[in-house]
């Protein structure tokens, strides 16, 4: 972003002549001048403090050519035939623009669409490439003479900034609530009044609408009721870091990402784990800082310094991003609307990360990151990976680059499925790459699998299917640029196995092409199948019943028990699953007696929170092994041990921590056996269970002590959103 203009300025500074241009492979530059000036150019290119803040240099390759006698320096049009493949993500307002925004007398003082070469919207306003203003949703706002002058002035920080605009020529905001309707400054004033008075405001942002309101319990409960969202946590937007520190403890590394150019939602530890239960029932709350000029204006001289800021979507549908849609669908939910007339051309939700070490671990890689490519250590040209289903994503390869989609959502929702299909088409156009090979999950009912098989038929494309946990493993290997055979510890909710049963706690070994299943959990019967993800008491009963415990100890009502028991023994709609997610659900229910989860995965989060209260606990429960061709951790002994300790009065948090320790213990034991058998010393961790910090840190620490090299995810999500990358890598190897 802003790289060619920077090169241009650099060339002028060093008195170099020549040109630069974008190619499919990167930026190409030809420069002639004094030897020492050429050397300082190369030195600057390799110095992260010299290059523009958002540029990422992967490699600098130089070659000597004979001087052409060029005079001056120019930016050439992108190489013919090669798409200008790099489209920048939408970035948060930069410090320079923020300064202008708050400087009285500046011609963009308090203008809500201020942006420059280093910041502002990109991905969400581009209609087609090459990236020029007429091909963006800024096309309908011709630049005024002042803006045009800046755009053409190489010394100006808005040189070649396509979305550049000002109050004279650019978009404007408007506010609508009941009979009130106003624009510009009045709109901001009315919006702030509505928020301060406890109202719910729909705000049009960069990649979609938010619903915003105060953070107090009463307002939050009203928002939950109207949005029909019971358990799921709400993210908040805080005025600044000090405001965020009232809620959470924030490390230096977290501050850097929270306040960096991408400004994702960062999951942070609450100061008081029991506080703000209305926002989230766990120990963490998702916080972001204002990232558009409009957000900043909404926090100017206000009585509040934090607002709930949640994606405006209804019942699992994708986020709303058009004005009319918002006005229609949010009627009765929002008390007012803060709109603008710059169209959002494609949705892009807020990214959600947790900071571990100094880096992001992605729950959701979206705004601020998409569509910046990931660079691979292999060529994945023309491979389209279709991802999973519930946390859908896709990835398309172009040379050594892979473009990962933004957050999509659950494909079982019809609008989401259509968003997914549109985005695939959109990415193929934007990045100038047509799929030649398709790769999808093994599950025949995933809508991503159906898309792949239908498209492979209609377009005559090759189709490869990769088992879910193999894809997770390959994803972590590709994430870390690994080529050697690895052991994969893959813990997640569910995924179809090669034996047609549901897998989910897998110790695998192998490479991109092929894996062997070395160990797993003894399968758990799930009475009612998918019903267990919400009614976790069913899994608790199953664990307890199979462990041979008196049914009374399973915390279910006895009438229900009889039915579940019948379902399990007669094998009626009780699929077997070795999913770690289900094990967490069941154990949480056994320890606490809670029968229902607010949303899928909540029990696992809450079990980790419980364990956090006893982080120093070192004991684990007893467990044993059985072997049915695959080594199986037999949890029956563990469940009996757990329930005995519970009866003896061991506290819930100690039980929760001992359960975590048990999972860490058996995973490491299995890994050690696999290592001894194969000689492999490299381990990758993947799957949604590795959002759990106790599990991740525990396994990493233990295996490193035993001289294993352990890798976790940093560029894509450990969860299902990340498997498209693994599918792509596996398909490449299989081809």
3-state secondary structure at position 566: helix
Residues 139-158 that bind Zn ion (CB under 5 A): 144, 147
Which of the choices Fe ion, Zn ion, none does residue 169 contact, using the CB cut-off of 5 to 8 A by kind? Zn ion
Q: Which position among 1, 54, 94, 442 is part of the footprint of Zn ion (CB under 5 A)?
A: 94
Q: Are 98 and 110 in contact (CB under 8 A)?
A: no
Q: Give the C-alpha separation, 493 to 504, whole Å.
A: 6
User: In this complex, which beta carbon is closest to Zn ion, that of residue 158 or of residue 401?
Assistant: 158
Q: Which does 452 bind (CB under 5 to 8 A by kind): Fe ion, Zn ion, none?
A: none
Strand partners, 525: 576
**With CB under 5 A as the contact rule, which of the stretches 116-124, 425-433, 517-525, 675-683 interacts with Zn ion?**
116-124
CA 484 to the chain's CA centroid: 27
Rounded to whole angstroms, what are the CA distances from 575 to 9, 503, 536, 571, 711? Answer: 64, 11, 15, 8, 32
Closest residue (Cβ) to Fe ion? 492
Q: For residues 511 and 720, which CB has a smaller minimum distance to Fe ion in the complex? A: 720
Contact 342, 120 (CB under 8 A): no
- Which residues, 6+ apart, have CB-to-CB distance to 63 below 8 Å? none
Which partner, Zn ion, Fe ion, none, binds residue 147 by CB below 5 to 8 Å per kind? Answer: Zn ion
CB of 388 to Fe ion, least distance (A): 6
Note whether 97 binds Zn ion by CB under 5 A. Answer: yes
Picked from Zn ion, Fe ion, none, the partner binding residue 241 (CB below 5 to 8 A depending on kind) is: none
Q: Is 482 in the site for Zn ion (CB under 5 A)?
A: no
Instruction: Return the axis-axis angle of helices 602-612 and 652-678, rounded to nearest 10°.
Output: 100
3-state secondary structure 238-275: ECCHHHHHCCEECCHHHHHHHCCCCCCEEEEEECCCCC
The kind and range of the H/E element at 502 are: strand 502-510
Q: Which of 45, 168, 461, 546 binds Zn ion (CB under 5 A)?
A: 168
Selected binder of Zn ion within 119, 201, 223, 348 (CB under 5 A): 119
Cβ closer to Zn ion: 166 or 699? 166
- The item of Zn ion, Fe ion, none sharing an interface with residue 162, based on CB under 5 to 8 Å by kind, is none
> Could you say which of 335, 492, 506, 585 contacts Fe ion (CB under 5 A)?
492
Greatest extent of the chain over all pairs of C-alpha atoms, in Å: 90
Please provide the distance, in angstroms rounded to a whole number, between the alpha carbons at the two ends of the chain. Answer: 34
Instruction: Determine the interface stretch with Fe ion among 277-285, 303-311, 325-333, 712-720 (rule: CB under 5 A).
Output: 712-720
Backbone angles phi, psi at 270, to 5 degrees: -65, 145
The reply to whether 166 sits near Zn ion by the rule CB under 5 A is yes
350 binds Fe ion (CB under 5 A): no
| Residues numbered 107-166 forming contacts with Fe ion, rule: CB under 5 A | none
- CB 119 → Zn ion: shortest distance, Å? 3
Q: How far apart are CA 225 and CA 671, in angstroms?
A: 46
Q: Provide the CA 517 distance to its chain's centre, in angstroms.
A: 28
Rounded CA-CA distance 718/485 in Å is 19
Closest contact distance (angstroms) between CB of 167 and Zn ion is 7
Q: What is the 3 state secondary structure string of 295-335? A: HHHHCCCCCCCEEEEEECCCCCCCCCCCHHHHHHHCECCEC
Q: How many binding residues for Zn ion (CB under 5 A)?
A: 10
Question: Which lies closer to Zn ion via its Cβ, residue 151 or residue 599?
Answer: 151
Nearest-angstrom CA–CA distance, 544 and 159: 67
Q: Which is nearer to Fe ion, 170 or 495 (CB)?
A: 495
Q: Does 389 bind Fe ion (CB under 5 A)?
A: no
Sorted by sequence, the CB contacts under 8 Å of residue 291 that are 6+ apart come out as 92, 93, 206, 263, 368
How far is residue 445's CA from residue 78's CA, in Å, rounded to a whole number? 43
> Does the protein bind Zn ion through residue 519 (CB under 5 A)?
no
- Counting Cα atoms < 13 Å in the Cβ hemisphere of 673 gives 17
Residue 106 interacts with Zn ion (CB under 5 A)? no
CA 156 from chain centre, in angstroms, equals 34
Closer CB to Zn ion, 169 or 733, in the complex: 169
101 binds Zn ion per the rule CB under 5 A: no
Is residue 138 near Zn ion by the rule CB under 5 A? no
| Burial class of residue 301, CB neighbours in 10 A (0-12, 13-18, 19+) | exposed
**Minimum distance between the CB of residue 472 and Fe ion, rounded to whole angstroms?**
6
CB of 5 to Zn ion, least distance (A): 13
Q: How far is CA 112 from the centre of its chain?
A: 27
CB of 214 to Zn ion, least distance (A): 29
Pairing of strands 401-404, 395-398: antiparallel
CB of 147 to Zn ion, least distance (A): 3
Report the nearest approach of Fe ion to the CB of residue 458 (Å). 28
- Residue 97 interacts, among Fe ion, Zn ion, none and using kind-specific CB cut-offs from 5 to 8 Å, with Zn ion
H, E, C per residue of 74-103:
EECCCCCCCCCCCCCCCECCCHHHHHHHCC
CB of 204 to Zn ion, least distance (A): 20
Question: Residue 303 CB, nearest distance to Fe ion (Å)?
Answer: 44
* Smallest distance from Fe ion to CB 492, Å: 4
b (16+ CB within 10 A) / e for 634-646: bbbebbbbbbebb
**Shortest distance, position 116 Cβ to Zn ion, whole Å:** 3
- Contact map string, positions 221 to 250, toward Zn ion, x by CB under 5 A: ------------------------------
Q: Taking contact as CB under 5 A, which single stretch among the options 11-19, 222-230, 334-342, 495-503 is the one that binds Fe ion? A: 495-503
**Smallest distance, Å, CB 454 to Fe ion?**
23
Shortest distance (Å) from residue 578 CB to Zn ion: 50
Least Cβ distance, residue 390 to Fe ion (angstroms): 9
Choose between 373 and 495: whose C-beta lies nearer to Fe ion: 495
Total residues interacting with Fe ion, rule: CB under 5 A? 3
Nearer to Fe ion, 494 or 682 (CB): 494
Binding to Fe ion by CB under 5 A, coded x per residue (else -) over 445-484, reads ----------------------------------------
Applying CB under 5 A, does 116 fall inside the site for Zn ion? yes
Candidates 10, 90, 665, 720; binder of Fe ion (CB under 5 A) is: 720
Q: Does 169 bind Zn ion (CB under 5 A)?
A: yes
Contact partner at residue 492 from Zn ion, Fe ion, none, CB < 5 to 8 Å by partner kind: Fe ion
Closest by CA position to 313, among listed 208, 217, 389: 208
> Closest Cα partner for 123 from 374, 428, 367?
367
Q: How far is the CB of 311 from Zn ion (least distance, A)?
A: 25
* Token pair 């999951």: residue: 267
Site for Zn ion in 597-636 (CB under 5 A): none
Q: Which tokens belong to 197?
A: 């008075």
State phi, psi for 690 to the nearest 5 degrees: -90, 10
For residues 432 and 85, the answer to whether their CB atoms sit within 8 Å is yes
Dist. CA 671–CA 128, nearest whole Å: 48
Contact 722, 362 (CB under 8 A): yes
Residue 310 vs 393, nearer CB to Fe ion: 393
Q: Binding of Fe ion at residue 283 (CB under 5 A)? A: no
Could you identify the residue written with the tokens 């309908």?
A: 140
The span of 171-179, 479-487, 553-561, 719-727 binding Fe ion (CB under 5 A) equals 719-727
Q: Kindly state whether residue 10 participates in binding Fe ion, applying the rule CB under 5 A.
A: no
What letter does residue 136 receive in the DSSP assignment? B
Residues in contact with Fe ion by the rule CB under 5 A: 492, 495, 720
Residues in contact with Zn ion by the rule CB under 5 A: 94, 97, 116, 118-119, 144, 147, 166, 168-169
């Amino acid at each position: 972003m802003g790289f060619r203009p920077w090169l241009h300025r650099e060339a002028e500074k060093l008195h170099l002549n020549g040109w630069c241009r974008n190619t499919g492979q990167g930026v190409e530059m030809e420069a002639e001048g004094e030897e020492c000036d050429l050397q300082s150019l190369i030195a600057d290119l390799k110095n992260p403090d010299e290059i523009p803040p958002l540029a990422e240099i992967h490699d600098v390759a130089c070659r000597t050519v004979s001087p052409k006698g060029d005079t001056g320096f120019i930016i050439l049009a992108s190489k013919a035939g090669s798409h200008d493949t790099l489209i920048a993500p939408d970035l948060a307002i930069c410090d320079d623009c923020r300064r202008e925004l708050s400087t009285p007398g500046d011609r963009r003082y308090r203008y809500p669409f201020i942006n420059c070469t280093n910041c502002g919207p990109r991905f969400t306003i581009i209609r087609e490439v090459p990236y020029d203003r007429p091909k963006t949703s800024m096309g309908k706002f011709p630049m005024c003479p002042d803006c045009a002058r800046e755009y053409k002035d190489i010394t100006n920080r808005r040189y070649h900034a396509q979305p550049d605009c000002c109050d004279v020529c650019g978009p404007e905001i408007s506010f609508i609530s009941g009979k009130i309707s106003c624009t510009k400054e009045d709109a901001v004033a009315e919006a702030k009044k509505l928020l301060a008075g406890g109202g719910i405001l729909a705000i049009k942002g960069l990649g979609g609408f938010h619903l915003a309101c105060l953070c107090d319990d009463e307002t939050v409960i009203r928002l939950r009721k109207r949005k029909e969202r019971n358990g799921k946590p709400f993210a908040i937007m805080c005025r600044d870091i000090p405001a965020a520190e009232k809620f959470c403890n924030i490390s230096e590394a977290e501050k850097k990402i929270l306040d960096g150019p991408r400004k994702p939602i960062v999951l942070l530890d609450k100061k008081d784990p029991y506080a703000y239960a209305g926002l989230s029932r766990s120990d963490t709350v998702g916080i972001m800082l204002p990232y558009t000029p409009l957000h900043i204006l909404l926090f100017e001289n206000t009585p509040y310094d934090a607002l709930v800021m949640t994606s405006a979507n209804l019942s699992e549908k994708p986020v709303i991003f058009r004005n009319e849609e918002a006005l229609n669908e949010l009627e009765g939910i929002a008390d007012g609307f803060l709109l603008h007339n710059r169209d959002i051309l494609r949705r892009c939700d807020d990214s959600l990360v947790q900071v571990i070490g100094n880096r992001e671990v992605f729950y959701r890689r979206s705004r601020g990151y998409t569509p910046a490519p990931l660079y691979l250590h292999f060529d994945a040209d023309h491979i389209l990976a279709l991802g999973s289903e519930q946390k859908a994503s896709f990835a398309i390869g172009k040379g050594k680059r892979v473009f990962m989609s933004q957050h999509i959502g659950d494909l079982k929702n019809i609008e989401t499925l259509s968003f997914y299909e549109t985005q695939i088409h959109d990415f193929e156009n934007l990045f100038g790459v047509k799929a030649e090979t398709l790769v999808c999950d093994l599950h025949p009912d995933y809508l991503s699998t159906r898309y792949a098989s239908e498209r492979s038929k209609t377009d005559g494309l090759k189709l490869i299917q990769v088992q879910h946990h193999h894809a997770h493993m390959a994803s972590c290997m590709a994430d870390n640029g690994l080529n050697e055979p690895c052991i994969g510890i893959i813990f997640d909710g569910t995924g179809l196995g090669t034996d047609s049963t549901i897998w989910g706690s897998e110790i695998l070994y192998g490479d991109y092409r092929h894996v062997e299943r070395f160990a797993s959990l003894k399968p758990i019967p799930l009475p009612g199948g998918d019903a267990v993800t919400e009614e976790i008491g069913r899994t608790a009963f199953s664990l307890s019943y199979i462990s041979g415990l008196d049914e009374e100890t399973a915390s279910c009502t006895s009438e229900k028990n009889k039915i579940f028991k019948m379902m399990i023994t007669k094998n009626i709609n009780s699929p077997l699953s070795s999913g770690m997610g289900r094990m967490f659900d069941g154990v949480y229910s056994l320890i606490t007696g809670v029968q229902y989860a607010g949303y899928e995965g909540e029990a696992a989060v809450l079990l980790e929170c419980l364990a956090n209260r006893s982080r120093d606990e070192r004991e684990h429960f007893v467990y044993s092994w059985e072997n049915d061709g695959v080594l199986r951790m037999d949890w029956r002994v563990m469940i009996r041990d757990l329930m005995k300790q519970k009866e003896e009065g061991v506290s819930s948090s100690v039980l929760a921590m001992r359960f975590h320790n048990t999972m860490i213990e058996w995973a490491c034991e299995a890994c050690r056996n696999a290592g001894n058998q194969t000689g492999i010393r490299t381990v990758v961790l993947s799957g949604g269970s590795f959002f759990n910090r106790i599990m991740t840190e525990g396994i990493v620490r233990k295996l490193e002590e035993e001289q294993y090299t352990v890798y976790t995810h940093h560029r894509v999500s450990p969860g299902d959103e990340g498997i498209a990358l693994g599918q792509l890598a596996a398909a490449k190897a299989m081809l």
